[in-house]
Every structure is written in structure tokens, then in C-alpha cells.
Amino acid sequence: MTLLYDTVGVVGAGAMGRGIAQIAAQAGSTVRLYDTQAPAVAKARDEIFSQWDRQLEKGRMDAAAVQACKQRLQAAGALADLADCKLVVEAIVERLDVKKSLLAQLEAIVAPSAVLVSNTSSLSVTAIAAGMERPQRFAGYHFFNPVPLMKVVEVIAGLKTDAAVCEGLAAYAKQMGHTPVQAQDTPGFIVNHAGRGYGTEALRVISEGITDFATVDRILKDQVGFKLGPFELMDLTALDVSHPVMESIYQQYYDEPRYRPSVITAQRLAGGVVGKKVGEGFYRYVDGKAQVAPEQPVPQVDEMPPVWVSTRAARRAELYQLLKDLGAKVETGQSPSPQALTIVAPLGFDVTTVAVVERLDPARTIGIDMLIDDAATKRRVLATNPATRADMRDAAHALFARDGKAVSVIRDSGGFVTQRVVATIVNIAADICQQRICSPKDLETAVTLGLGYPLGPLAMGDRWGPTNVLEVLFNMQTVYGDPRYRPSPWLRRRGAIGLSLSHVED
């Protein structure tokens, strides 16, 4: 296939413009890079050249290819030098007025057939295009940082964008080695919208004092397989970047409770405790390494009580077998004996409520999160209720740690950490599908490539049971009375048949 845009202009030679210029040149396009700060262009060029030199050293590119790429990457001294570009990518400061004024200048310079795009991550594509002479040739082209490594790009149609323009941009993305996903022009597009659940729900857990942030990070990495915990991620991104994004998406959706930001990050941002780059965020950093407090040790328990499992426990058969495998004396009666450690496994409900409803002795009742099957996790999470006796808590901790698997003991809340965060992620994803912001398939692609989640959110819901996720949300709504947990209609409809069925038109 011939190259879609043989000459490409990139305006703004910062972190993003640099990366876009690099992959466009690698695809074979002549790239004209412009910045109002001339030294920025020279710096960007030097950095891209050294990237290619490294590729040559590693044997990933040959000398001729590197030479050709270097020749194709050209510094533009003035905006007018972009006159012959078939595509111009705007990657300048994130300000609507500045972007609009640049586009007006560009329209006066380039050919009427040239395509213009913005790499904006938070502004409306339609708003940027308003006032353009030809808004139909303008779209969002949202890359991720660092561009050469983050292989996904959101192609965003504004209200007036010509569909053929988006098709061309998607095809060109593939020529650059990227995977395009198509999104409607909505706040956060796909990736920054789908990513709302992870941090905000983790922050809610912390704000309720259920456990500390390091434990939340451990739980979500070990139980679900996230590469970084939400607090590690916020430290890396830094709160001066991520907190305003949380606020902006919440406000743009007119205070939709699902995206409500947290006072915790607002306060930390005000205090300058923004993350790794300043040496202190949720973690403290010494020589760039996070200082992590040690885990709760496994208690020494000399005499293990017998164990009784609630008949209503999630994954009851599996839990029962697990307890036997761990060598527990498992009681089989209709109700627990007076000595028994009593295990419940609620979905969305708190342990206290379950103990009361099932008429169990709360002093001996402990909850375990069974949303995810035990074999698939590296950690078990137990929750006490306010009345749980210390000896019962210690017995449960020691018992579930017998085979060497990590155990966290947290306080009681509606839903355990994993249930809350997973259900929130799945629910927001379902709502993205409900709003037709993108196809379910593109949603999964965007999230796995753009956020690095172990599974797409719909696949995550399917893997651990859409009806389980629904149950978590229904019950959390009861516990909290908070509309942020109301299930999306899409999740309610699709919950029974599977979320990621690609052949279902819904």
C-alpha cells in the first residue's frame, strides 16, 4: 500500500511532537517539524537521531534505513514551510485558544485537501474545529507517551469530521506501526475515560480508612494482575497531571458521580506531594526507589479452630475445597459450632451485614474475597468486621497463609478492594459501550494497549462473571446509596449473556 501522507507536518516539538515525528519518518514520510521555540526543534531532532542510532547499535534498523530516516526528518524554520504537507499534526500546548489560532494560521497555508489533526488529550475536537473554514478535514489523533512504545492511537471524529478523513488516519496509523481505535468526541475519549475507575475507586477505599495505599497496590497487582498499583501509577504520572484530568472529566460530564475525584489527591497536590518526580508522593523515594512498609506478618497460631463456611458464600464449593486443602477441620452442619471460625464470602455487601442477615456470631465471622478464583490469584484478601475477635482474625490469617500464599487483612466495607475496583472499571467500560463512544472491540484494544491492563475491561467482566460484577454493584449501591455504583444499562443487559461477545450487535 502506498504511503497515505508522504509529507507530514508536526507542530510542537515537545514530548509528543517528537515521538509522532519519529514514527512518521520511520513509516517513510518526509516530516517537517516546527516549534515556536527554535531550540526545541533542534533538541527534538538530536534526540530522535540518537534514538535511531541506538536502534542501529541494537541491530533493529540498518544503516541505510537510519540514514534515510534522518534525511526525512526536517526542521521547519517557519510555519509556512509546512505548505506542502498532506497531513499536519498539532502537538502544542493544551489550550483551546492557542490551538484554534494555530489552526486558523495553518488553514491559510496548507492545500484545501490537507488533513489537520490535534493530539489533544482533554479538549473537545469539535470545540477546536469550531471556527475552522473546513472543519470536515479536522480530527483528533490522540497518541500516548512515549509515542514509539505506546502502540495505540485514538482517531476522534468531531461533529463535522468527514468519515473518510478518519479512515485515512486509521490507515496511516497502521503504516506507522500503530493500532488505531475510533472514538466519538467525548470527554477523555476512550482511554482516559476507561481509566477513571482504577484510581478513583482505590482513592475511595483509602478515604474510608479500610486499609493503606500500599496494601491496595499489593492487592490489585497480586489478585488482578495489574502491572502497577493505582498509587504507584499516580506517583509515576504525578498528581499535577492526573488530578486535573480527574477533575476535568468529572466536570465535562456535568458531575457524573462515577468520575468524582477525591479530596485526597486535591490536598496532596496543594501540598506539593505529587509523586516520584519530587521524591514524595503516596510513597517516599530514595534514589528513585519507593520505600514500601513491610507487610503484616503471618501470626503464630497454636490451636486452629474448626471452620464453617456460609452456605451463601461466593464460589462456595471452591472455598470449601480450598479450606480442606489447607488442612482445616471443616464443619458440615447447617450452622457453625460455638467454637467455629465462620467464613463468609460476600459480593458487594460488607461482612457485618452478612453476619447479621445470616444470624452468625460477628465476633467469629471473617470475610474473604472470592470474586476472582483462588487459583488465579497470588494473594487472598480477608476482611474483619468491627466485632471480630483478634484470635479469630489471626486464625483466619494463619490458615489462609498455610500454603505460602500472601494474605492481606483489611477492614470491613461494602465490597473488598478488588471487587470495588474491578466492578467500577467494568461498569465504566459498559457505559462507554452504552454511549456508543466506540465499539466494544476498540474499547478492549484501547485499554490493553493504552493502559496496559492485563485484560480488556469487558473480558475482565466475563472472566470473573458479569453477574458477579452486577451483584457487587447492586449490593454496593445498597450499602453506600451512592449513584456512582449504579450499573450501566448496558451491563445489566449484557450481564447475562457475556460482555465481550463480538458477534452481538447491541
Contacts with ligand NAI, residue ranges (CB under 6 A): 11-17, 35-37, 40, 91-94, 98, 102, 119-121, 143-145
CA 495 to chain centre: 21
- Strands 73-75 and 379-383: what pairing? unpaired
Q: Which residues of 453-476 are buried (b: 16+ CB within 10 A; e: fewer)?
A: bebbbbbbbbbbbbebbbbbbbbb
- Active-site annotation holder among 90, 107, 154, 471: 154
- Strands 379-383 and 365-368: what pairing? antiparallel
Q: Least Å distance between CB 54 and ligand NAI? A: 21
- By beta-carbon distance, which residue lies closest to ligand NAI? 14
CA 252 to chain centre: 19
The question of whether 122 is a catalytic residue gets the answer: no
Q: Least Å distance between CB 240 and ligand NAI? A: 12
Q: Toward ligand NAI, which CB reaches closer, 281 or 362?
A: 281
- Cβ 407 vs Cβ 397: under 8 Å: yes
- Active-site annotation holder among 29, 119, 124, 192: 192
Q: Give start and end residues of each alpha helix (H) in 195-345.
A: 196-207, 213-219, 230-237, 239-252, 263-270, 316-325
- Cβ 379 vs Cβ 184: under 8 Å: no
Q: Least Å distance between CB 229 and ligand NAI? A: 20
- Active-site annotation holder among 29, 118, 121, 262: 121
Q: Least Å distance between CB 43 and ligand NAI? A: 9
Q: Toward ligand NAI, which CB reaches closer, 235 or 471?
A: 235
Q: Toward ligand NAI, which CB reaches closer, 225 or 244?
A: 244
Q: Toward ligand NAI, which CB reaches closer, 144 or 416?
A: 144
Q: Toward ligand NAI, which CB reaches closer, 15 or 292?
A: 15
Q: Toward ligand NAI, which CB reaches closer, 63 or 78?
A: 78
* HEC string for 249-287: HHHHCCCCHHHCCCHHHHHHHHCCCCEHHHCECCCEEEC
The question of whether 192 is a catalytic residue gets the answer: yes
Q: Least Å distance between CB 255 and ligand NAI? A: 23
Q: Least Å distance between CB 237 and ligand NAI? A: 9
- Active-site annotation holder among 29, 142, 397, 408: 142
The question of whether 488 is a catalytic residue gets the answer: no
Q: Least Å distance between CB 183 and ligand NAI? A: 14
**What is d(CA 265, CA 269) in angstroms, rounded to the nearest whole number?**
6
One-letter amino acid identity for 200? Answer: T
Distances (CA, A) of 473 to 313, 419, 444: 17, 9, 21
- Cβ 470 vs Cβ 418: under 8 Å: no
Q: Which of 73, 86, 120 is nearest to 8 (CA)?
A: 86
Residue 9: HSE in the Cβ half-sphere, 13 Å Cα cutoff: 30
The question of whether 154 is a catalytic residue gets the answer: yes
Q: Is 304 exposed, middle or buried (0-12, 13-18, 19+ CB in 10 A)?
A: middle
Q: Toward ligand NAI, which CB reaches closer, 453 or 490?
A: 453
Catalytic residue IDs: 121, 142, 154, 192
